[in-house]
Amino acid sequence: MTIIAAYSYLDGRRHREINLASPVSDGPDEFEWIGLFEPTAEELQTVAERYGLHALAVEDARSLAGLPKLEVYGRHLFLKARTVTLAENQINFGLTSFFVAENFIVTVRLGSSEGHALLRERIEEDAALLAQGPDYVLHAVLDLIIDGYFPPLDRIGEKLDHFEEEAVDGGLDRDHTKEVFSLRRQLLRLQRQLVPMEEVCAKLAHLDLPAIGQDMRPYFRDVTDHVRRAETMTRLQREVLASVMETSALIEQQNQNAITRQLAAWAAILAVPTAIAGIYGMNFESMPELKSPWGYPAILLLIFMVSTGLWLRFRRLGWL
């Protein structure tokens, strides 16, 4: 069984370890909290039968596909939330599902390396808050998940600063251009997850839902604000990446134009001696300059003066 932790809490304090074969705690001030990590279908079904979980929700909890959502099944809530990590310039997504009722909460983690053990230890230190029940645990885990969005976004932001400097200095190289395109696609995927995640948190903050007390709404409003801030950061970073690509393309185009101007300038300069040499290279005897003792140096001087004049002109224009 992939149960990471399973305890009942009475008046906000750890009461006993849960035995799945025993009845569910139903005391007025008692609730159960079970944490599962990548359970098999049989293991999750055992928990589902204990708490009477809806079959569709159980099936959904075993799938990494789909967007964050909130559904109501009688007196139970079912939620899906995305977890995010960044490894080797790749945003990795995990999934945490929640089954919440007035006397229990079950969390199911898939593809997420971030456990809840430290969070459980931390909130167990404040019995008054934990005594509020499963809805407080739901808020605490959601808050942990959403706070996990910001370190990857901060690291991406640092990369953006470097890309902006490189784009302005001379344009992105091929590898960095690929990385910018990759990050932009990944940020789009993240934004697609954050928009429904914000909707889920907003429902928890404003709707009358089973197992969610009125006194917890301000906590969920705070979580909603965090999701909104993460979504704003993601959108702005995508805009910055688009700006970086446009700037890099503009700088590269300017560099190409400068090279084209240089080639055109040198072609014009070289055209002068080529044209003059071509004229005097023709086999005609009646060209008076051919008989002059000063013809050869005069032609060389002419080529030099015209070429130098063109060079100075292009130099002033910034073409050379």
The verdict on residue 46 lying in a domain is: yes
The verdict on residue 226 lying in a domain is: no
For position 19, what pLDDT does the model report?
81
pLDDT higher than threshold 70 for residue 23: yes
Q: How far apart are CA 181 and CA 36, in angstroms?
A: 36
Domain count, the chain: 2
% pLDDT > 90, the chain: 38
The verdict on residue 48 lying in a domain is: yes
Tokens of 145: 């998940």
% pLDDT > 70, the chain: 87
The verdict on residue 254 lying in a domain is: no
Q: Which of 70, 88, 119 marks a domain boundary? A: 119
0.85 surpassed by pTM: no
The verdict on residue 96 lying in a domain is: yes
Q: How far apart are CA 237 and CA 158, in angstroms?
A: 11
What is the bridge-based pairing of β-strands 3-10 and 90-101? Answer: unpaired
Q: State mean pLDDT over 140-147.
A: 94
For position 56, what pLDDT does the model report?
93
pLDDT higher than threshold 80 for residue 188: yes
Q: How far apart are CA 143 and CA 154, in angstroms?
A: 18
Q: Residues with Cβ < 8 Å from 135, sequence gap 6 or more?
A: 100, 211, 212, 213, 216
Q: Name the strand (E) or helix (H) holding 167.
A: helix 150-169
Q: Which of 72, 93, 119 marks a domain boundary? A: 119
What 3-state DSSP class applies to 318?
coil
C-beta of residue 24 within 8 angstroms of C-beta of residue 51: yes
* Residue linked to tokens 């950061």: 233
Nearest by Cα to 97 from 119, 112, 118, 117: 112
| Model confidence pLDDT, tens digit, residues 193-222 | 999 999 999 999 999 999 898 999 999 999
HSE toward the beta carbon, residue 161, CA cutoff 13 A: 5
Tokens of 175: 């590898």
pLDDT higher than threshold 80 for residue 316: no
Kindly report the CATH number assigned to the domain that includes residue 50.
3.30.460.20
pLDDT higher than threshold 90 for residue 20: no
Q: What is the average pLDDT score of the chain?
A: 84
The verdict on residue 276 lying in a domain is: yes
Nearest by Cα to 318 from 252, 271, 260, 261: 261
pLDDT higher than threshold 80 for residue 170: no
For position 283, what pLDDT does the model report?
62
233 CB-contact burial (10 Å; exposed 0-12 / middle 13-18 / buried 19+): buried
Q: In this structure, which amino acid lies at residue 169?
A: D
> Between 148 and 255, whose confidence is greater?
148
Strands (E), 209-256: none
Q: State mean pLDDT over 301-309.
A: 73
Q: Which of 102, 119, 136 marks a domain boundary? A: 119
Q: How far apart are CA 200 and CA 228, in angstroms?
A: 12
Q: How far apart are CA 45 and CA 20, in angstroms?
A: 12
For position 88, what pLDDT does the model report?
77
Q: Residues with Cβ < 8 Å from 75, sequence gap 6 or more?
A: 101, 102, 210, 211
C-beta of residue 186 within 8 angstroms of C-beta of residue 91: yes
Confidence of residue 100 (pLDDT cuts 50, 70, 90): very high
Q: How far apart are CA 200 and CA 68, in angstroms?
A: 7
Q: How far apart are CA 31 and CA 11, in angstroms?
A: 9
Kindly report the CATH number assigned to the domain that includes residue 269.
1.20.58
* Residue linked to tokens 């400097």: 165
The verdict on residue 90 lying in a domain is: yes
For position 284, what pLDDT does the model report?
57
- The boundaries of the domain holding residue 282 are 259-317
The verdict on residue 288 lying in a domain is: yes
| Model confidence pLDDT, tens digit, residues 255-274 | 666 677 777 777 777 777 77
DSSP string for residues in 95-118 = EEEEEEETTEEEEEEES----SHH
